[in-house]
Amino acid sequence: MNPRIFIGFDSREEICYDVLKYSLEKNSPAPLDIMPLKIRDLAREIAFNRSQDPLQSTEFTYTRFLVPYLCGYKGVVLFMDCDMLCFADIQEIFDLDMSGYWLRVVKHDHRPMSTIKMDGKVQTSYPRKNWSSFMLLNCEKLTMWTKEAVETQTGKWLHRFEPIPDERIGDIPKTWNVLDRYDAATKLIHYTEGGPWFENYKDHPYGDAWLRYRDEYLTSSSALRRSMESR
């Protein structure tokens, strides 16, 4: 079975999903099963309904926790925020041992200095911040994340993994969720404060990598369209 990946989708950042998907596929020798979590589709297909939280910064702030439910509580799958860029074979994550773990994350100690983040949204600080941005999920163990729970539980209960025993939360190597910087060891960069797709962050010090992948994606997409039109 191909590695199954869900990516948070925000209608303001559609290009982010496209470029992240491209980067994952470019660096994977094997096919990947990648799906966007679109809140409008979820509202139509499973009647997902959660009141807008004034503190949520993306459309997928809460829908990420629907992934085990969407998978029928079966299998090991990956969730990723869309504001990321991958430089390595994602199979390395799926090769991690999940026996004894309900999920694996990069356990950041992230204490943002700024009070504003991407697209002018309020920056909040809380324990386990960014842990939920890149999660390898053992779906059969996460039955507490029901559709009803995701619709009604607090952000604190969800994002801090409150019902999950600490010993059931495993690690992912830190090179797989590097916050706002890039070096030779980085396998995945996460633009937490906003990336160069936003006007206010077009000069992000590590934005060149994303722009390079974006240009490759746009070029390859244009070539594919021309090929299809010529048939």
DSSP letters along 83-98, please?
Answer: SEEE-S-THHHHTS--
Would you state the structure tokens that stand for residue 48, as one six-digit string? 């997902």
Whether the CB-CB separation of 137 and 67 falls below 8 Å is answered with yes
Mean pLDDT of 96-114: 85
pLDDT of 125 = 56
Q: Does 38 score more than 90 pLDDT?
A: yes
| Mean pLDDT of the residues in the chain | 91
Beta strand segments in 13-167, E: 33-37, 76-80, 84-86, 103-105, 134-138
pLDDT of 226 = 61
- Per-residue pLDDT tens over the stretch 187-200: 999 999 889 999 88
- Per-residue pLDDT tens over the stretch 132-143: 999 999 999 999
Confidence bin at 221 (pLDDT 50/70/90): confident
Q: Give the burial class of 114: count Cβ atoms within 10 A of its Cβ; 0-12 exposed, 13-18 middle, 19 or more buried.
A: exposed
- Per-residue pLDDT tens over the stretch 3-26: 999 999 999 999 999 999 999 999
Mean pLDDT of 97-105: 97
| CATH class entry, domain 4-229 | alpha beta
Confidence bin at 225 (pLDDT 50/70/90): low
β-bridge partners, 10: none
Q: Does 227 score more than 70 pLDDT?
A: no
pLDDT of 113 = 52
pLDDT of 110 = 56
Whether the CB-CB separation of 42 and 48 falls below 8 Å is answered with yes
pTM above 0.85, yes or no: yes
